[in-house]
Amino acid sequence: MPDTLALWHAEHANFARLLDLLDDQLALFCGGATPDYELMLNIMFYMTRYSDVLHHPKEDLVFAKIKEREHATARTVDELTRQHALLKRSGADLVRHLDDILNGTVSSRAVVEAIAGDYLDTLRNHMRIEESEILPLAARLLTREDWTAIHRSIGHVDDPLFGKHPEPRYVELVEQITRQAQATHPDH
């Protein structure tokens, strides 16, 4: 089902944009400056409530079908599935630390830097493997019936940030993404 793969690719591109914004804020934090903690928290709130709850579970179902049909993929599929669980835990840890900072609780800079850095590196590498190895396999191995069953299992939820009607929580984040896009492509 090509539309599903196109959506999966588009979501990865959106996640990459968010990771770039998070990386910019983390660079400020690591340099001793004050980043926009609210922005960082909104990025991670989205990643832990959309990516971890809807995107990754759908991928896990696709992974299982791929592994079932092409046994040689078992090691890669198992590692990507393990990374989903790791990303969920580290994302939740980062949300907790950012929330603590916003609430005035002292949090170790080194811990926040380590968690955020690991999260960024792991997710970027994870998406790279999915894009280069898993999406082509899914296109080749999954049938229309497979995609229908996967969609039925997960259901559809509009993207709360990149969808047609972003949630109010993400207004500032949408504005930041727009500013970043304009700075990157000023002629558009």
| pLDDT of 188 | 56
Residue 57 in tokens: 């579970």
Q: Which domains does the chain have, with CATH numbers?
A: 2-154 (1.20.120.520)
pLDDT digits (tens, 9 = 90+) for 23-52: 999 999 989 899 999 999 999 999 999 888
Q: Which residues of the chain have pLDDT under 70?
A: 1-2, 106, 185-188
Q: Please, are residues 52 and 87 in contact by the beta-carbon 8 Å criterion? A: yes
Distance of CA 157 to CAs 37, 112, 120, 172, 178, Å?
27, 31, 25, 21, 23
| pLDDT of 187 | 66
- The residue to which tokens 């791929």 are assigned: 66
Q: Please, are residues 40 and 34 in contact by the beta-carbon 8 Å criterion? A: no
101-110 contacts, C-beta under 8 A, 24 or more apart: 101/37, 102/37, 102/38, 102/41, 109/29
| pLDDT of 137 | 95
DSSP string, 11-42: HHHHHHHHHHHHHHHHHHHHTTS---HHHHHH
Total-model pTM:
0.91
Name the H helices within the chain. 2-30, 37-46, 56-69, 74-102, 109-129, 135-141, 144-154, 171-184
